[in-house]
Amino acid sequence: MKNAFNTIGLIGKYGAPEVADTVQTLAELLQQRQCDVRIEMSTEKTLSSRAFTSSSLDEIGRECDLTIIIGGDGTLLAVARTLVDYDIPILGINLGRLGFLVDISPSEMAVRVNEILDGQYEEEHRILLNAIVDHKNTPPSESDAFNDVVIHKWEVARMIETETYVNGHFLNTMRSDGLIISTPTGSTAYALSAGGPIIDPAMDAILIVPTCPHSMSYRPLVVDGNSTIEVFVKENMHSHAQVTCDGQINLGLVSGDRIKIRKKDQVVRIIHPKNHNHYEILRAKMHWGEHS
């Protein structure tokens, strides 16, 4: 039977040599299925065997028809931002706590991967955000975000003041610790901790959540996924703020800068085992229905 995927890239959690055994086992399994296996360079260096092709992320994106992540949700977030422009599907093997995105455990890896290669899988599409910071005196900086774009105070116990627009329409001026602009995927991350709602990951929507606003009248807001959100950091010589994407990438920010956030044209393609149930994972992660 022909494999559903033939050239497969493997990417382990960066700086985590403990994933080597799982990567090695998975690579051997894929070779037994006559797959062409490409292992990301830093991951390949952790292996005891040198029998596999070492590839850069760019080569994996250009040459593979599936990428398998071995790690946790954070690893997948970073890889998804890098590979989204290549339109390559991503599968996650979970080596840490149960993940929303990486949902196959090592104990069931062989069975699930064989099923997926046999064509028994589900594919879902998730949106990303693109954030561009227009600086007053320097060239713009930008990054993509799978979970969220967070505008927040930096190192000082002082509120920042922001002015927010949706599709060019003024929304509000707010003093707070910051503002979270989140995808539906990110609704179960920092936005949830700040009091935001949980949004079905298949929705085409963007979530705006204030963090510790000065007035309790400010509430989370969900807008259409095609909206353009602009946040202006108001002039204040005491302001210290920055923009952080997915908790992993920091963009410099000073008073007077403007942040423009919109949905990216490309989507992240996530592969799940057949009969994947997002709500079952949600119940387990949130400990719903457990008795103390």
pLDDT tens for 214-267 read 888 899 999 999 999 999 988 664 557 899 999 999 998 887 899 999 999 999
Q: Provide the 8-state DSSP code for 14.
A: T
Helices (H) and strands (E) in the chain, counts: 7, 19
Q: Please tell me the pTM assigned to this model.
A: 0.92
pLDDT of residue 95: 86
The owner of tokens 């840490």 is 96
pLDDT of residue 138: 86
pLDDT of residue 155: 67
183 alpha carbon, distance to own chain's centre: 9
The owner of tokens 């457990």 is 290
Q: Provide the 8-state DSSP code for 104.
A: B
Residue 118 known to be catalytic: no
Q: What is the mean pLDDT of each run of 10 residues along the chain (292 residues)?
A: 93 87 95 96 88 94 97 94 97 85 92 97 97 90 97 81 96 94 97 96 96 91 98 72 94 88 97 93 88 64
pLDDT of residue 96: 74
**Regarding the domain delimited by 7-126+267-286, which CATH topology (the fold level of the hierarchy) does it fall under?**
Rossmann fold (3.40.50)
Domain 129-263 CATH assignment equals 2.60.200.30: yes
In the chain, ranges of CATH 2.60.200.30 domains: 129-263
SS3 for 152?
strand
Cα gap 73→98, rounded to integer Å: 9
Cα gap 65→5, rounded to integer Å: 6
Residue 210 near residue 218 (C-beta atoms within 8 A): yes
pLDDT of residue 292: 59
pLDDT of residue 14: 85
Residue closest to 50 by CA, chosen among 32, 67, 37: 37
Angle in degrees, 0-180, between the axes of helices 20-32 and 109-117, rounded to the nearest 10: 40
Tokens describing residue 128: 């990303």
Residue 123 near residue 116 (C-beta atoms within 8 A): no
Rg (CA), the chain: 21
In the chain, ranges of CATH 3.40.50.10330 domains: 7-126+267-286
pLDDT of residue 234: 84
| Residue partners of 12: CB distance under 8 A and separation at least 6 | 19, 20, 22, 23, 40, 42, 43, 46, 69, 70, 71, 75
- Count of Cβ atoms closer than 10 Å to residue 169 Cβ: 8
3-state helix, strand, coil in the chain (%, to 5): 25, 35, 40
Q: One of 21, 58, 65, 73 is an active-site residue; which one?
A: 73
Residue 62 near residue 38 (C-beta atoms within 8 A): no
pLDDT of residue 173: 94
pLDDT tens for 152-165 read 987 677 888 999 99
